[in-house]
């Protein structure tokens, strides 16, 4: 429709995108073959073919059901060229949807745990970032996510490696975040990590309020001094929390198709878009894991438009909020506005 063309043309920022979540089944099978990695088709028939895997991705029971596939797929990423191919494919797709600036997560520990060096991951991602900026004019940043399903000392070790190796100081990494399974791992478990990041002057975000309650968002603010909240879907269960998010201008990086696919909401009409707009909370609309959830950023914008019928003015305020919530230089913000 005409409105979709308007949405396609809007200059966008993406703040909630797991690079491993852009691993399309075609590239997964290609890299698995190249690297002699056997996908576990003996244990799960979904890995038998690209078509079977795509069919399996159509429905997930919950976050952990999805994560099982997401972590297995990662095992096909071995050398720097694999990470470069993965990230360049995403940047080129994002640029085609008029994403001008992207802040991208990667799951460092999941790669180092299986014997891929931290430097290999970062070298490949950086090569893609450089090429994408040159080819498409898109600016990109990396946010290192630590995973909640591994113990705190493991997260501390990976964080210290990145900090002491100068990866934050030299601008290779922009910020730290946390992701993976939520409910059993409340934010209060990670104070040591967030204290260390804050002490080193490093920006901090965390996935909270996706499957977990609004109280996890409160913990992230109170105990971790998180400056951004990834998802924050359930924040509207707590009016005082919303008031605080508005006052502090904390960005919620929301992901509607992800919430739908992971059964956090039963239909897009349950996504709190009206509340986000009416409360004045700063938020952006993002794709999370587009290879798994049936759409990149534009498809997320379009499904919201089809459900909520926003005005041009409302969309303009959404994309402006996304620029203001970005962690880029003031100079870059001016270019994006």
CB 288 within 8 A of CB 16: yes
Binding mask 105-144 for ligand ADE (x = CB under 6 A): ----------------------------------------
Query: Minimum distance between the CB of residue 318 and Zn ion, rounded to whole angstroms?
Result: 19
**Terminal-residue alpha carbon distance, the chain:** 25
Does 299 contact Zn ion by CB under 5 A? no
Does 180 contact ligand ADE by CB under 6 A? yes
Does 256 contact ligand ADE by CB under 6 A? no
Does 179 carry a binding-site annotation? Answer: no
Distance CA 107, CA 165 (A): 17
Does 16 carry a binding-site annotation? Answer: yes
DSSP secondary structure letter of residue 270: G
Partner whose footprint covers residue 84, from Zn ion, ligand ADE, none (CB < 5 to 8 Å by kind)? none
Partner whose footprint covers residue 235, from ligand ADE, Zn ion, none (CB < 5 to 8 Å by kind)? none
Query: Minimum distance between the CB of residue 182 and Zn ion, rounded to whole angstroms?
Result: 10
Query: Minimum distance between the CB of residue 278 and Zn ion, rounded to whole angstroms?
Result: 25
Name, in order, each residue with C-beta under 8 angstroms of 11's C-beta and a sequence gap of 6 or more.
98, 100, 319, 336
Binding mask 270-309 for ligand ADE (x = CB under 6 A): ------------------xx--------------------
Does 211 contact Zn ion by CB under 5 A? no
Does 103 contact ligand ADE by CB under 6 A? no
Binding mask 70-89 for ligand ADE (x = CB under 6 A): x-------------------
Query: Annotated catalytic, 210?
Result: yes
Query: Minimum distance between the CB of residue 317 and ligand ADE, rounded to whole angstroms?
Result: 25
CA proximity to 284, closest of 328, 237, 230 = 230
Partner whose footprint covers residue 180, from Zn ion, ligand ADE, none (CB < 5 to 8 Å by kind)? ligand ADE
- What are the C-alpha distances in Å from 79 to residues 24, 82, 83, 87, 166? 18, 5, 7, 13, 22
Query: Minimum distance between the CB of residue 16 and ligand ADE, rounded to whole angstroms?
Result: 8
Token pair in block for residue 287:
């794709």
Distance CA 133, CA 262 (A): 32
Please identify which residue in 10, 21, 85, 217 interacts with ligand ADE, judged by CB under 6 A.
Answer: 21
Give residue number: closest CB to ligand ADE: 179
Partners of 178 in the β-ladder: 146
Q: Which of 14, 141, 210, 211 is catalytic?
A: 210
Distance CA 168, CA 202 (A): 7
Does 289 carry a binding-site annotation? Answer: yes
Distance CA 284, CA 173 (A): 21
**Helix residue ranges, H only, the chain:** 2-9, 25-34, 50-56, 63-74, 80-96, 108-112, 118-136, 152-164, 191-199, 214-222, 239-248, 256-261, 273-279, 290-293, 297-308, 312-324, 330-336
- Binding site per annotation, positions for substrate: 289
Footprint on this chain of Zn ion (rule: CB under 5 A): 288
For the annotated binding site, the residues are 16, 18, 207, 288-289
Point out which residues bind ligand ADE (CB under 6 A): 18, 21, 63, 70, 179-180, 207, 210, 258, 288-289
Active site residues: 210
């Amino acid at each position: 429709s005409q409105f979709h063309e308007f949405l396609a043309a809007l200059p966008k920022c993406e703040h909630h995108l797991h690079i491993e979540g852009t691993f399309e089944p075609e590239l997964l099978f290609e890299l698995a073959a190249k690297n002699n990695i056997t996908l576990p088709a003996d244990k799960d028939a979904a890995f038998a073919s690209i078509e079977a895997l795509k069919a399996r991705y159509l429905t997930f029971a919950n976050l952990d059901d999805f994560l099982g596939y997401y972590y297995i797929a990662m095992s096909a990423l071995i050398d720097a060229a694999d990470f470069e191919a993965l990230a360049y494919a995403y940047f080129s797709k994002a640029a085609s949807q008029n994403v001008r600036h992207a802040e991208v997560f990667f799951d460092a520990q999941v790669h180092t745990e299986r014997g891929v060096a931290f430097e290999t991951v970062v070298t490949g991602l950086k090569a893609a970032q450089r090429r994408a900026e040159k080819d498409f004019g898109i600016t990109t940043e990396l946010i290192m996510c630590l995973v909640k399903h591994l113990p705190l000392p493991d997260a501390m070790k990976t964080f210290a490696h990145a900090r002491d190796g100068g990866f934050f100081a030299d601008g290779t990494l922009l910020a730290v975040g946390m992701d993976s399974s939520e409910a059993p791992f409340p934010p209060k478990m990670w104070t040591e990590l967030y204290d260390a990041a804050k002490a080193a002057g490093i920006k901090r975000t965390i996935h909270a309020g996706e499957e977990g309650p609004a109280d996890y968002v409160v913990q992230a603010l109170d105990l971790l001094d998180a400056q951004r909240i990834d998802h924050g879907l359930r924040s509207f269960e707590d009016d005082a929390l919303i008031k605080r998010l508005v006052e502090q201008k904390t960005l919620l990086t929301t992901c509607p198709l992800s919430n739908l696919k992971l059964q956090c909401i039963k239909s897009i009409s349950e996504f709190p878009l009206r509340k986000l707009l009416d409360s004045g909370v700063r938020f952006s609309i993002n794709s999370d894991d587009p290879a798994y959830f049936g759409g990149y950023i534009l498809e997320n914008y379009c499904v919201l438009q089809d459900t909520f019928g926003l005005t041009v003015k409302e969309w303009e305020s959404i994309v402006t909020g996304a620029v203001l919530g970005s962690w880029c230089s003031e100079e870059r913000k001016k270019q994006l506005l």
